[in-house]
Structure formats: C-alpha cells, structure tokens
Amino acid sequence: MHDSEEIAEIRRAVRALCDEFPGEYWRDADRDRRYPAEFVDALTRSGFLAALIPEEFGGSGLKLDAAAAIMEEIQASGCNGGAAHAQMYIMNTLLRYGSDAQKAEYLPKIASGELRLQAFGVSEPTSGTDTLSLKTRAVRDGDDYVVNGQKIWTSRAEHSDLMLLLARTTPREEVEKKTEGLSIFLVDMREVAGANSTRGGMTIKPIRTMMNHSSCEVFFDDMRIPASSLIGEEGKGFRYILSGMNAERVLIAAECIGDAKWFIEKASAYAKERQVFNRPIGQNQGIQFPIARSYAQMRAAELMVYHAAEVYDQGGNAGEEANMAKLLASEASWAAADMCVQTFGGFGFAEEYDVERKFREARLYTVAPISTNLILSYLSEHILGLPRSY
Ligand SMILES: Cc1cc2nc3c(=O)[nH]c(=O)nc-3n(C[C@H](O)[C@H](O)[C@H](O)COP(=O)(O)OP(=O)(O)OC[C@H]3O[C@@H](n4cnc5c(N)ncnc54)[C@H](O)[C@@H]3O)c2cc1C
C-alpha cells in the first residue's frame, strides 16, 4: 500500500504506542479475562480513538482510511483492538443523526476519554441475524421511555459509560415496512447499570468466551431512560445503524488485515529461524508456499479494504465494497492464522508465542459483526440480482 505522509506518520505513532503493550500484557489479560483498560486509556489519551470525531468536538476529524490504518496497526502489532474498536464506529450514529444538544454534550467527552462509548446493543438471543425480529421494546411514558427485553453479545457493556441501543418502539404488525418502528437510543449506563448488579432496570452478565472479548448479556426490566436519549426520529433507527455499518465493516476488515500481517510476519520469522533436519524449516517449499499464498491473499484483501474506505470517504454508497472487504479480509486473516499454527508446529499451541491467542481472536471475524453467509447473501441479492432467499 502506498500511504500518504499523514497516514504513514499515524502508523508509526500507533506502533510506538503498541510497543508499550507487549505479548505478555495481552497474555495476562487473556488468562484472567481482564479488560485491557490501560491499553484503551493510552489509545484514548493519544487521540486515536477520537480519529473520526470532528475537530470542533475535540477529535482529529480524520477520514475512514486513517481510522482503518490505526486499527490495522494495532492488530499487526499483536495488540487487540477488539477492546476499543466499537467507539470509532458507534460514534458515527451519534455524529450523523444526533441532535446538536446530544453532540455538544457527548462528543467532546467521548473524545477526551471522560466517557466511554463502547457498547452497541443490537443482537438478541431469539432473533439472531434477523435483526428486524428483535423483541426489546421501548415504550414512551411521559418524559421517559420504558425498556423491556434482552440483548446478547453486547461487548464491553461492563466497561462502557454509554450504550447505543436498538429497540422496537412500534410493534412490527403496526408498521408498513418491517424496517420501520425500530429506534436508536443513547443510554447513559452510569444512571442505570452496574456490572452484575441490577440498578435502574439494567442487569449485565458477562459471557465467558473463547477469547477475551468482554461480551455480555444485558437484561432490561422496566428500565426508564429519558426521552432525550432518543437519537433522531422515532422509528428510523434501523436506517440509522445501517449507514454506520459500512464504516464498521471497513474498520473490522482493516483489523483482519493487521492480524493477517502479524501471522505472516511471525510465520516468516519462525520459518527462517527454526532448524529441523539441520536446515531452516522455511527452506522447504511445503512451509514457504502456504506463507506466500497467505501473503498474496492478504494483499488482495487489503486493496479492497482501502478501496472501500475511499468510496466511503468520497461520500458514495460503500455497501458492496465494505461487505466484500469484510468478507475477503476475515477469510485472509483466518487462513493466515491457520497457516501460522501449522508453521509453528507444536509451539503454535504454546501460550508464550501468542500465536494461539491471536488464532482464537482472529476466529471471530468470519462470524461477527456479520457472518460470511449474510455477506454472500447481500452480494447475491443486492449486487447480482439473484432471487431473494429469506
Ligand atoms: C465475541 C462476540 C462479540 C459480539 N459483539 C457484539 C456486540 O457488541 N453487539 C451486538 O449487537 N452483537 C455482537 N455480537 C453478535 C454478532 O453480531 C452475531 O453473533 C453475528 O451477527 C451472528 O449472529 P448470531 O450469532 O445470532 O447467529 P445466527 O443468526 O443464529 O446464525 C447462525 C449461523 O447461521 C447462518 N445463517 C443464519 N441465517 C442464514 C441464512 N438465511 N442463510 C444462510 N446462513 C444463515 C449464519 O451465517 C451463522 O453462520 C458479537 C458476537 C460475538 C461472538
């Protein structure tokens, strides 16, 4: 990739910050399933998490290509941006559709790190990928909304001050189009929740997962939030989050490129150094070729990621490119992860090399935030005009 001087400088600065958080730091956090708060704080203090927040609100006002480069470098350094990536793309909904008062109140505090906006409550246990069937209800009652229902996989809910919440405000049977009747709220969790406690009608329960991702179930039981928490117009929430999802897909895809680079770099270094049968294993083409293939696959996906960022930055509809970027990059990183374990042999399974940790972390992205099948379905139906399957 040919970077502008500005992006090259950003990459160097992110690398320098990440050097302060070596493998040992991530291994410890992973073992204890501890939120890497020091890393997230350092990223926030350096301004990287506020890359996409306009300067008038205290951010850097950068474009998506710069934000993608930040996330890519974090992963390529062996760190885990999953602890903080949501802030970059969730903030977009507030920025695009929030009122002037909401933006003035929250964006500067998010930019400075005074408030964390890390939780995005969309997925539900019964509806799964079929977001329009979600059941969480928000009912207007005077100056409040009363929320009842449940979310699952709400990552970082315990470590966030604010949550962007998608809930149904008009029953599905009463709307003309099924995409209507959902609304987006900016919930101030400091008012309503505490981890593993029920306060103000919100209960958060951590889910122990394959990797350290701080995912949670969140239960709403007559949770009262002020009507001023509503973002934009009632009933238009689905449309609002859809437009933010292209940015999310590009950023996650950039993380996958970073992961793939990390695996390729680790495998190449190990293949040069590890001696078996009195020669480096990398002298065998059976070891070389999978590394070379991974490299080619990653480079092709990388082109699509930065092309998608460019389309997005130019104000176009990046739906096709963002989805393809996410598809290709998540497959490239997973292929690189598998290749890296094979290259390391038994040591690929030992904690101290970080390969097994990164392998578990990289596995997520062909499933979340949108699974490969759903992307293929989008391309089939919306780009290729094939018959609708669901
Ligand atoms: C660690 C982790 C963190 C997450 N963080 C968040 C978060 O912060 N906020 C949030 O809202 N969500 C989050 N998610 C949820 C994530 O977005 C979903 O898990 C993902 O979108 C898949 O949905 P599902 O798990 O309900 O799978 P399901 O919808 O149950 O699907 C299961 C499988 O069936 C396939 N499938 C379903 N329907 C079709 C179809 N019509 N055609 C072909 N295949 C189909 C899917 O592709 C998938 O492979 C997270 C998930 C994980 C695991």
Is 17 in the same domain as 42?
yes
131 touches ligand 1 (CB under 6 Å):
no
- Residues above pLDDT 90, as percent of the chain: 94
Q: What is the mean pLDDT of residues 277-306?
A: 98
CATH code: domain of residue 43: 1.10.540.10
What confidence tens digit (pLDDT) does each residue in 60-117 have?
A: 999 999 999 999 999 999 999 999 999 898 998 999 999 999 999 999 999 999 999 9
Lowest mean pLDDT among 198-207, 300-309, 347-356, 359-368: 198-207
Cα separation of 84 and 62, whole Å?
A: 17
Q: What is the mean pLDDT of residues 309-327?
A: 96
DSSP string, 250-270: HHHHHHHHHHHHHHHHHHHHH
371 touches ligand 1 (CB under 6 Å):
yes
| pLDDT higher than threshold 70 for residue 197 | no
Q: What is the mean pLDDT of residues 168-183?
A: 95
Write the residue with the smallest CA distance to atom 41 of ligand 1: 390
Is 225 in the same domain as 247?
no
Is 252 in the same domain as 339?
yes
Q: What is the mean pLDDT of residues 26-48?
A: 97
Residue entry with tokens 């701080």: 214
Cα 248 to Cα 67, 71, 89, 124, 365, distances in angstroms: 11, 11, 5, 19, 12
Is residue 355 in a domain? yes
Q: Which token pair is 213?
A: 């991702």
Is residue 379 in a domain? yes
Is residue 262 in a domain? yes
| Counted domains in the chain | 3
Is 269 in the same domain as 344?
yes
The per-residue pLDDT for 195 is 45
Is 106 in the same domain as 144?
no
Write the residue with the smallest CA distance to atom 43 of ligand 1: 373
pLDDT interval class at 193 (50, 70, 90): low
DSSP string, 305-359: HHHHHHHHHTTS--HHHHHHHHHHHHHHHHHHHHHHHHHHGGGGGSGGGSHHHHH
The per-residue pLDDT for 9 is 98
The per-residue pLDDT for 355 is 98
- Interval between CA 328 and ligand 1 midpoint (Å): 18
| pLDDT higher than threshold 70 for residue 243 | yes
In the chain, the amino acid numbered 347 is F
Cα separation of 326 and 89, whole Å?
A: 15
Helix (H), strand (E) at residue 6? helix 5-19
Is residue 390 in a domain? no
Write the residue with the smallest CA distance to atom 27 of ligand 1: 128
Nearest ligand 1 atom to the CA of 376 is 43
Mutate to test the pocket of ligand 1, among 151, 367, 381 (most ligand atoms within 8 A of CB): 367
Q: Which of 112, 135, 163 is the last residue of a domain?
A: 112
Is 362 in the same domain as 318?
yes
Is residue 389 in a domain? no
Is 373 in the same domain as 256?
yes
Is 181 in the same domain as 101?
no
pLDDT interval class at 196 (50, 70, 90): very low
DSSP string, 62-75: --HHHHHHHHHHHH
Q: Which of 80, 96, 112 is the last residue of a domain?
A: 112
What range defines the domain where residue 100 resides?
A: 5-112
227 touches ligand 1 (CB under 6 Å):
no
CB 289 within 8 A of CB 266: no
Write the residue with the smallest CA distance to atom 9 of ligand 1: 154
The per-residue pLDDT for 199 is 52
In the chain, the amino acid numbered 12 is R
126 touches ligand 1 (CB under 6 Å):
no
209 touches ligand 1 (CB under 6 Å):
yes
93 touches ligand 1 (CB under 6 Å):
no
CATH code: domain of residue 351: 1.20.140.10
Cα separation of 289 and 158, whole Å?
A: 44
Q: What is the DSSP letter of 58?
A: T
Mutate to test the pocket of ligand 1, among 33, 129, 386 (most ligand atoms within 8 A of CB): 129
Is residue 388 in a domain? no
Is residue 347 in a domain? yes
Is 72 in the same domain as 84?
yes
| pLDDT higher than threshold 90 for residue 192 | no
- Interval between CA 334 and ligand 1 midpoint (Å): 17
DSSP string, 65-128: HHHHHHHHHHHHTT--GGGTHHHHHHHHHHHHHS-HHHHHHHHHHHHHTSS-EEEEE---TTTT
Nearest ligand 1 atom to the CA of 86 is 8
Q: Which token pair is 382?
A: 């919306």
Lowest mean pLDDT among 47-61, 182-196, 321-335: 182-196
CB 94 within 8 A of CB 141: no
Q: What is the dihedral of CA 109, 110, 113, 119, to 10 degrees?
A: 140
Cα separation of 21 and 19, whole Å?
A: 5
Is 214 in the same domain as 318?
no
Is 219 in the same domain as 258?
no
Is 323 in the same domain as 189?
no
- Interval between CA 222 and ligand 1 midpoint (Å): 27
Nearest ligand 1 atom to the CA of 151 is 11
CB 149 within 8 A of CB 135: yes
CATH code: domain of residue 148: 2.40.110.10
What confidence tens digit (pLDDT) does each residue in 129-147 have?
A: 999 999 999 999 999 999 9
Residue 16 has phi, psi (to 5 degrees) of -65, -40
22 touches ligand 1 (CB under 6 Å):
no
Reduced to 3 states (helix: H, G, I; strand: E, B; else coil), residue 137 is: strand
Residue 120 has phi, psi (to 5 degrees) of -130, 105
pTM of structure: 0.97
Q: Which of 65, 94, 112 is the last residue of a domain?
A: 112
| pLDDT higher than threshold 60 for residue 313 | yes
Lowest mean pLDDT among 34-43, 81-90, 307-316, 374-383: 81-90
Reduced to 3 states (helix: H, G, I; strand: E, B; else coil), residue 182 is: strand
Cα 213 to Cα 115, 179, 291, 305, 313, distances in angstroms: 20, 30, 28, 24, 29
**With b meaning 16 or more CB within 10 Å and e meaning fewer, what string describes 50-61?**
bbbbeeebbbbe
